């Protein structure tokens, strides 16, 4: 079976690692990103732009929602309206927009895989990262709902919750915040994008056949539930 995947945030970090890993499995990968260097340039937080991109691409087999931003680091009571709104718009609404646009084609085909990227912050809550933590918790809830809705149609939707991973997205994370969340990892190191991509590749394949609406931790031992 010939498979086509869309990977948002596909030019950097987890998105780029996932695009490369899926490509190695023979999947035809289409990257979507705000960068003009992507196969399709799109702001996932814009529902009209996402709908247009979906029409341009056509039906797909695999959707990886990796586009995300950390937002500014500050105590919750100092979070600006702009920081809160933009972080949730990209991380949560962007994931929703993509799922809404591409799920119907998977239902029609009777096969599909959706993998949404959340974070351990969505389970534990990271201090001074309220918008990010809240958005990732909501992505987990969204995916659990989606998994139940799509289960009768041969479409699986799961969510990956990494601990801190060495990507460019963390360049804007305050050093003290980064040090704190790294200290929570029993393995004593941050993760690699390629390690997360391996898990995503499995969730995107026929080898994953009886799991949907599930949260897969990849946290070096940080996860406690």
Tell me the C-alpha distance between 66 and 32, whole Å: 10
| 225 assigned to active site | no
Residue 103 backbone dihedrals phi, psi, to 5 degrees: -60, -40
Catalytic residue of the set 96, 102, 132, 216: 132
Which DSSP letter does residue 151 get?
Answer: G
Q: Which of 68, 180, 174, 55 is nearest to 126 (CA)?
A: 180
Q: How far apart are CA 71 and CA 173, in angstroms?
A: 8
Element (H, E) at 97: helix 94-109
Q: Which positions are annotated as active-site residues?
A: 132
């Amino acid at each position: 079976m010939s498979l086509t995947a869309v990977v948002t945030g596909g030019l950097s970090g987890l998105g780029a690692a996932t695009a490369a890993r899926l490509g190695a499995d023979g999947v035809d990968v289409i990257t979507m990103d705000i960068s003009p260097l992507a196969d399709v340039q799109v702001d996932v937080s814009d529902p009209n732009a996402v709908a247009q991109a979906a029409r341009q691409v056509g039906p797909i087999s695999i959707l990886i929602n990796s586009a995300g931003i950390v937002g500014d680091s500050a105590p919750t009571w100092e979070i600006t309206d702009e920081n809160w709104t933009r972080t949730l718009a990209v991380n949560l609404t962007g994931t929703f927009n993509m799922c809404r646009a591409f799920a119907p084609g998977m239902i029609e085909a009777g096969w599909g895989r959706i993998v949404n990227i959340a974070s351990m912050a969505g389970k534990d809550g990271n201090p001074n990262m309220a918008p990010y933590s809240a958005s990732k918790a909501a992505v987990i809830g969204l995916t659990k709902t989606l998994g139940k809705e799509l289960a009768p149609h041969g479409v699986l939707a799961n969510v990956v919750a990494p601990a801190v991973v060495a990507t460019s997205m963390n360049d804007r994370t305050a050093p003290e915040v980064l040090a704190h969340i790294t200290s929570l990892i029993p393995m004593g190191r941050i993760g690699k994008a390629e390690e997360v991509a391996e898990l995503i590749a499995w969730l995107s394949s026929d080898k994953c056949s009886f799991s949907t609406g599930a949260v897969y931790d990849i946290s070096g031992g940080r996860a406690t539930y």
